[in-house]
Amino acid sequence: MSNLNNGCTIIDLPKITDVRGNLSFIESYRHIPFEIQRVFYLYDVPGGAVRAGHALKTCEQFLIAVSGSFEIVIDDGVSRCEYLLNRAYKGLLIPPRFWRELKNFSSGSVCLVLASKPYDEDDYFSDYEEFVSAVRGKQE
């Protein structure tokens, strides 16, 4: 596990190598710091499309490129950084209150997302200006 300056963390998952193929696994509270409440995945993303474009108020997420690759732009309301996910045994832990955009999906890529909470529309910042105001202490 490696902490990055912005609060996000790249986590190396267990990788069991076998001539028949590799296996990785994730356990709540052992590999990621939350109980998994929801799992979803993005696939068949058209070339040039950007996904996400939001922040979550209270939910943590862990993203993995289980196939192919994609980039994640993380924004804390002040600065931005980018991460490339391209290994099925590495993922990015995103705490609440970080804006994220997923882009540059390779052909055939699959983004697996593990979330600490069930879906709740009210937990989303969908407007960037509202997000920036909130993280700078002006609201919610």
85-123 pLDDT per residue, tens: 999 999 999 999 999 999 999 999 999 999 999 999 999
* pLDDT for res 5: 55
User: What stretches of 79-123 adopt beta strand conformation (E)?
Assistant: 80-85, 90-94, 99-103, 110-115
* pLDDT for res 2: 47
Q: 2-135: which CATH topology?
A: Jelly Rolls (2.60.120)
Return d(Cα 135, Cα 116) in angstroms, integer: 20
Return d(Cα 122, Cα 56) in angstroms, integer: 9
| Cβ(139)–Cβ(133) below 8 Å | yes
Domain ranges of the chain: 2-135
Torsion angles phi and psi, residue 132, rounded to 5: -60, -45
Return d(Cα 121, Cα 52) in angstroms, integer: 13
Residuewise pLDDT in 10s, the chain (140 residues): 444 457 899 999 999 999 999 999 999 999 999 999 999 999 999 989 999 999 999 999 999 999 999 999 999 999 999 999 999 999 999 999 999 999 999 999 999 999 999 999 999 999 999 999 999 886 55
- % pLDDT > 90, the chain: 91
Return d(Cα 111, Cα 115) in angstroms, integer: 13
